[in-house]
Amino acid sequence: MFALAMLAGICVAVNAQVLFYTDFRTTPAGFKAASDAATALGKDDTLVSNPSGSTAPKDTVIDGCTLSANKSSTTNTVILISKGSQGFIPVGDTAGCTPGRLSLKNSGNSIKFPTVMGPCTITYYAAGSSNTTGKGIQALVNGISTPEAGIAELLLDTLQATRKVVYSYAGSDSVTFTLIAISSPYLYDVKIVTGMANVITSHSIKTPNSIWTRDNLVINSRKAGIDFYSIAGKKIMRSASSAIDVSAFPKGIYLARIPGTGEKIKIVR
């Protein structure tokens, strides 16, 4: 069993129980009602926190989720996108991702999910709101900033390319996950299940979105090749490829680096 870790494209333990799930469009009932109401009015989206013109931003609770607008500005809003196809482009890591989304709109806006018991694993999808490289999502685990569960950057070489984050909490106590916008991200399906994720563990050390994992692949989104080192720092191999299958690597701990940069992740096989 691995301690607190971020994983990508990973399956979780068999017979995992779903503790919470939302697609921000059809489930749970509160999100569906908000989406249906906007659709009935012919709108593409509906404000779900800090309505326009409000002078006192206040939290909105939907299905146990607390949606909060940035308290430093009354112009910031949290928007629930109602149309299933609204703005969704199926590129990036989209396996298991559906089109309904929550727009966190502006920096500092957040969503806090219902408290659950660990050990458990949260999986969510995110994309940027424009065709630029931008900051992503800050994650809090029981109120503590946890980079492994967040996204430092959304590298948008394709418009609104989707990223998947899987993070396991190893404790047997209660845990609350909060996602905070650093810029203007979209959130898609969010699922929290019992148990720890498995297969391959990637621990992000710096800019976790440039080099990341999916299933047994280590991927360099900058397309500059990958160097592999033992945990003792000895170089094992260099590949010019931007994606390496590490399924044949012996069990152990490795570092994967982008040549000429400080970007690296720890791989546990």
Q: For 94-138, what is each residue's pLDDT tens digit?
A: 677 887 888 887 788 899 999 999 889 999 988 876 655 566 888
Residue whose entry in the numeric block shows the structure tokens 């000429």: 260
What separation in angstroms does the CA of 201 have from each of 3, 75, 121, 166, 192?
Answer: 10, 40, 13, 10, 18
- Rounded average pLDDT over 188-211: 63
- Rounded average pLDDT over 67-82: 70
Rounded Cα distance between 6 and 124, Å, is: 11
Please report which confidence band the pLDDT of residue 212 belongs to, taking 50, 70 and 90 as the band edges. low
- 50 and 146 both lie in a single domain: yes
pLDDT at 259 over 80: no
- 176 and 253 both lie in a single domain: no
Residue whose entry in the numeric block shows the structure tokens 């408290």: 115
pLDDT at 185 over 80: yes
pLDDT at 143 over 70: yes
Say if CB 158 and CB 199 are below 8 A apart.
no
More reliable by pLDDT, 53 or 232: 232
- Give the end of a domain, one of 194, 223, 251: 194
Say if CB 180 and CB 126 are below 8 A apart.
no
- 143 and 70 both lie in a single domain: yes
- DSSP letter assigned to residue 162: B
- 46 and 114 both lie in a single domain: yes
- 128 and 159 both lie in a single domain: yes
Say if CB 179 and CB 124 are below 8 A apart.
yes
- Which residue(s) pair with 164 in the sheet? 125
More reliable by pLDDT, 159 or 186: 186
**Predicted local distance difference test score (pLDDT) of residue 114:** 97
- 220 and 118 both lie in a single domain: no
Domain extent for 75: 5-194
For residue 148, the SS3 value is helix
- Give the end of a domain, one of 151, 168, 194: 194
Closest Cα to residue 75, out of 98, 31, 105, 119? 105
Closest Cα to residue 256, out of 243, 248, 112? 243
Please report which confidence band the pLDDT of residue 56 belongs to, taking 50, 70 and 90 as the band edges. low
What separation in angstroms does the CA of 256 have from each of 72, 175, 213, 232, 265?
Answer: 40, 30, 10, 13, 5
Rounded Cα distance between 209 and 152, Å, is: 7
Please report which confidence band the pLDDT of residue 45 belongs to, taking 50, 70 and 90 as the band edges. low
**The model's pTM:** 0.67
Rounded Cα distance between 243 and 221, Å, is: 9
Rounded Cα distance between 152 and 183, Å, is: 10
Say if CB 236 and CB 254 are below 8 A apart.
yes
For residue 34, the SS3 value is helix
- 168 and 240 both lie in a single domain: no
- 110 and 177 both lie in a single domain: yes
- Give the end of a domain, one of 141, 163, 194: 194
**Predicted local distance difference test score (pLDDT) of residue 82:** 58
pLDDT at 207 over 50: no
Rounded Cα distance between 193 and 118, Å, is: 9
- 250 and 205 both lie in a single domain: yes
- 152 and 207 both lie in a single domain: no
- 40 and 108 both lie in a single domain: yes
**How many domains would you assign to the chain?**
2
Pick left, alpha or beta for residue 35 (phi over 0 → left; psi -120 to 50 → alpha; otherwise beta): alpha
- Most confident listed range (62-71, 117-126, 253-262): 117-126
Residue type, 241: S
Say if CB 94 and CB 87 are below 8 A apart.
no
CATH classification at residue 140: 2.60.120
- 57 and 107 both lie in a single domain: yes
Residues in CB range of 169: below 8 A, 6 or more apart: 4, 118, 119, 120, 121, 122, 141, 175
